Amino acid sequence: MLADNPAGTTEKDLVLRCQQGDTPSFKQLYRRYQQRVRATLYQLCGSEMLDDLEQEVFLRVWKGLPKLRQPAYFSTWLYRISWNVATDKRRQFAQNMSSEDDGSILNIMPSRPEDTPDLMRLHYQDLVQKGLQSLSLEHRAVLVLHDLEDVPQKEVANILKLPVGTVKSRLFYARNQMRKFLQQQGAM
């Protein structure tokens, strides 16, 4: 599951080094997973406090690494921590999140005609984000992890501590709801 592995160092090796307090190995793990964690948190919680949430995830990872018994399952464990941080944040700010409007991206007007395709892409991403926000956190988590982060269903089940059948049914429901939302918005 490593995209950048120039020195042949495995994820498991890095985790084992981190468990011995090796800070440079943790920096390597951070660089490998930072964008994935950030994307997952964004899809689950939106842009509000994204930097703080990301920092909280990696702080929990650093503190919890000495207790991780199965270094080979680091990515599953990391996604579980991301899920927990997102869940905690959503509980704390449930009332604020329901009334928030992140539509400010739509106020950006293209300065050049060639900017229009990027604006359309941003508009579609905004619609997808709003569609995700319309889902329950349980359905959103399955959709984000599986469809957007390419995590296999069995691993999603491990991360969320659910049976694989529940993951499949939530994924089916979430995809249908997103399809309906996007159709109502004229994006499909």
Q: Is the pLDDT assigned to residue 35 strictly greater than 90?
A: yes
Q: What is the pLDDT of residue 161?
A: 92
* Predicted structure pTM score: 0.62
Q: 7-97 is classed in which CATH architecture?
A: Orthogonal Bundle (1.10)
Do the domains 108-188 and 7-97 match in fold? Answer: no
Does residue 157 register a pLDDT over 90?
A: yes
pLDDT band at 99 (very low <50, low <70, confident <90, very high): very low
Question: Is the pLDDT at 85 greater than 60, yes or no?
Answer: yes
CATH number for 108-188 (one of 1.10.10.10, 1.10.1240.10, 1.10.287.1080, 1.20.1060.10): it is: 1.10.10.10
Residue ranges per structural domain of the chain: 7-97, 108-188
3-state SS record for the chain: CCCCCCCCCCHHHHHHHHHCCCHHHHHHHHHHHHHHHHHHHHHHHCCCCHHHHHHHHHHHHHHHHHHCCCHHHHHHHHHHHHHHHHHHHHHHCHHHHHHCCCHHHHHCCCCCHHHHHHHHHHHHHHHHHHHHHHCCHHHHHHHHHHHHCCCCHHHHHHHHCCCHHHHHHHHHHHHHHHHHHHHHCCCC
